[in-house]
Amino acid sequence: MPFSSLGEFLSALQDDGELIRIAAPVDSALELAAITDRVCKTSATGGPALLFENIRNSTIPVVTNLLGSQRRLCRAFGIADLDQLSGEFAQRLRVEQSGGWLESFRLLPAAGGLEKWTPKTVKAAPCQQVVRMGRDVNLWDVPIPRCWPGEQFPILTSGHGVARHSATNRNVFWRTSFVVTGQQELAWYDATDAERELVKSAAAAGQNLPVSISLGGDPILSALESVSDIDDIRTMSGCFQRTAMDVVRCRTNELEVPATSEFVIEGYVDATNPMSNQSLSIARGNGRYVRRPLPLIQVTAITQRANPILPAQIVAIPPAEQSWIGLAVDRMLLPIVQQQIPEIVDLHQPFSSARRNLLFVSIRKTVEYQARRVLHALWGLASIGRMKWIIVVDEDVDLGQEQQVWYAAGAHARPDRDFLFSDGHAWDDDYTSTASSTGQIGIDATQKAGNEVSVTWPDSLTMSVDIINRIQERWSEFGMREEPAEKRP
């Protein structure tokens, strides 16, 4: 069943027993984040979605941990299992190569029937039931959470921000922004993101850059936005939801936003004053604060539903909602990476990676030193090229079983031979790096053969299939309970 709006998705979660309504009064500053973080970290399966119905000094409810479990991710995408997402995603994309091998490429929904999923413009929309413009705009009326004590300002983490590149007429998307006054906010981007060049080029041309940020609507937008290679996430969303997304033109600019959003914040980056002169303290998913100036958005309008609900993701050390969304991102990244590096069987970023530091990769090894070639190719990809640690194992290793990966690293890799070091571009908020570069390490944890090793590689300890089947058939005789297999993370 497709979900075009937040309300529809919450109703389904309520029916599934996946939503807890919290009626007790809660502060949007720190309390809400602390409650959500505790729920995420005390449940092995991610915990329920939380609907805070009584936010102090506000009549607007806030929902957190919306996609913070495998079950809810599958519900949002309309699939039975996350592993199914790789095949579904592969069927729905085509690749446009814009350069040579390992250079940037764009992902678009498959050409067949594309017009069926392209967003369609409507004249009236739920997200414009209430409109405030000019002096009536006040961002403080919205109970935007402040998540951590070191942050000076509330943060919008579930926003679907959009601006349009004037040269290509393509939309550029981002998710995070910070409220600094009743009519101003700051947009987060990394130094290599497309938003940075968009802001710079507009300012250089002396043009104000229109931007709009929507909240709510299709629940899978948060996951799709995390796959940076997707060129048109709204059409891709329509492919998954099997219905074209309705979009509506904003009231104070010509951008279009999802019609079923809960809130829309419209504004522009002033060409004469594009950057804030403040260096904000910002909490990041790697568990540390970072300080940096950001583009300053002048807000011109706030539109909303008559009875809106504010979605919020709490930025925190894993496990957090973003950790679970990362599992879906892995499944979508797999067919993208396989188009470039066909020998890859699977990839996985464990929760301990914080979605940036550690990547497990399994390959179908057919030639000597193949893992080294794969490592260099992975560092050349825009989507995962900043990964600090990459461990490559054989295809029989279950990447979801982290101890299997580390066993292979310890058993199959010799540090002086199988550790590869590189130097690549760092994340802006990577406090371990110097300037804009970071050290990277790749570990060839595959079994060695031929010229890779000077001794005969010993056989592994493997039980015969007939014994395994016989024991399985008689398992109940032994009086032991069948334990569920450990799932990712």
Banded model confidence at residue 196, pLDDT cuts 50, 70, 90? confident
What is the pLDDT of the chain when averaged over all its residues? Answer: 88
Same domain flag for 357 and 440: yes
Same domain flag for 355 and 270: no
Considering the domain boundaries, does residue 284 fall inside one?
yes
Tokens of 184: 């101003």
Angle at alpha carbon of residue 390, lines to 416 and 353, rounded to 5°: 130
- pLDDT for 113-140, tens place per residue? 556 788 999 999 999 999 999 999 999 9
Which residues, in sequence order, are CB contacts of 199 under 8 Å at separation 6+?
189, 209, 269, 274, 275, 295
Same domain flag for 132 and 279: yes
Same domain flag for 269 and 367: no
Banded model confidence at residue 101, pLDDT cuts 50, 70, 90? very low
Q: What is the CATH number of the domain that holds 298?
A: 2.30.110.10
Per the CB < 8 A criterion, the answer to whether 131 and 256 are in contact is no
Residue 217, phi then psi, degrees to nearest 5: 90, -145
Same domain flag for 244 and 118: yes
- Name which residue leads in pLDDT, 405 or 177: 405
Cα–Cα distance for residue pair 284/282, rounded to 1 Å: 6
Considering the domain boundaries, does residue 329 fall inside one?
no
Number of domains in the chain: 2
Identify the three-state secondary structure at position 111: coil
Angle at alpha carbon of residue 86, lines to 84 and 92, rounded to 5°: 105
Considering the domain boundaries, does residue 443 fall inside one?
yes
Banded model confidence at residue 439, pLDDT cuts 50, 70, 90? confident
How many Cβ atoms sit within 10 Å of the Cβ of residue 25?
Answer: 12
Same domain flag for 263 and 127: yes
Tokens of 233: 């996430």
- pLDDT for 329-342, tens place per residue? 999 999 989 988 99
Same domain flag for 350 and 271: no
Give the DSSP per-residue string, 417-474.
Answer: HHEEEEEEEPPTT-TTSBTTEEEEEEEE-SPP-GGG-SSPPPPP----HHHHHHHHHH
Cα dihedral sign for 426, 65, 217, 210? Answer: negative
Considering the domain boundaries, does residue 281 fall inside one?
yes
Cα–Cα distance for residue pair 479/355, rounded to 1 Å: 41
Same domain flag for 236 and 351: no
Considering the domain boundaries, does residue 406 fall inside one?
yes
Q: 369 pLDDT exceeds 80?
A: yes
Q: What is the CATH number of the domain that holds 384?
A: 3.40.1670.10
Q: Which of 108-122, 308-322, 331-345 has the lowest mean pLDDT?
A: 108-122
Q: 103 pLDDT exceeds 50?
A: no
Same domain flag for 345 and 304: no
Considering the domain boundaries, does residue 60 fall inside one?
no
pLDDT for 102? 37
Q: What range does the domain containing 362 cover?
A: 341-467
Considering the domain boundaries, does residue 463 fall inside one?
yes
- Percent of the chain scored above 70 by pLDDT? 90
Considering the domain boundaries, does residue 259 fall inside one?
yes
Closest C-alpha among 363, 368, 384, 373 to residue 440: 384
Which residues, in sequence order, are CB contacts of 21 under 8 Å at separation 6+?
51, 53
How many Cβ atoms sit within 10 Å of the Cβ of residue 235?
Answer: 20
Q: 357 pLDDT exceeds 70?
A: yes
Q: 141 pLDDT exceeds 80?
A: yes
Same domain flag for 109 and 240: yes
**Looking at residues 188-216, what average pLDDT do you find?**
84
Same domain flag for 243 and 296: yes
pLDDT for 230? 75
Same domain flag for 294 and 428: no
